[in-house]
Amino acid sequence: MSTSVKERICTIECPECEFDFSLEAPSKGEVIACPDCQLNLLVTGVTGETVDVELTETDAEDWGQ
């Protein structure tokens, strides 16, 4: 019983909208987009099936202060 490639599905919770979604084998440093609110999330750590993400700074919009 050996699988050369084991797909690891990880669960991610968006820190902005709390939407739960799954991603296949994310890696630290990867930037992903929340499928719900479309914000960019930076993967800061992967532990087993738990993925830590944080919002990335976006300056494409919201120039005002």
Query: Closer to Zn ion at the Cβ: 31 or 37?
Result: 37
Q: How many CA atoms lie within 13 A of 34 on its CB side?
A: 20
From residue 25 to residue 64, what is the string marking binding to Zn ion with x (rule CB under 5 A)?
---------x-xx---------------------------
Q: How far is the CB of 58 from Zn ion (least distance, A)?
A: 13
Burial 11-30 (b: 16+ CB within 10 A, else e): ebbbeeeeeeeebeebeeee
Query: Closer to Zn ion at the Cβ: 32 or 46?
Result: 32
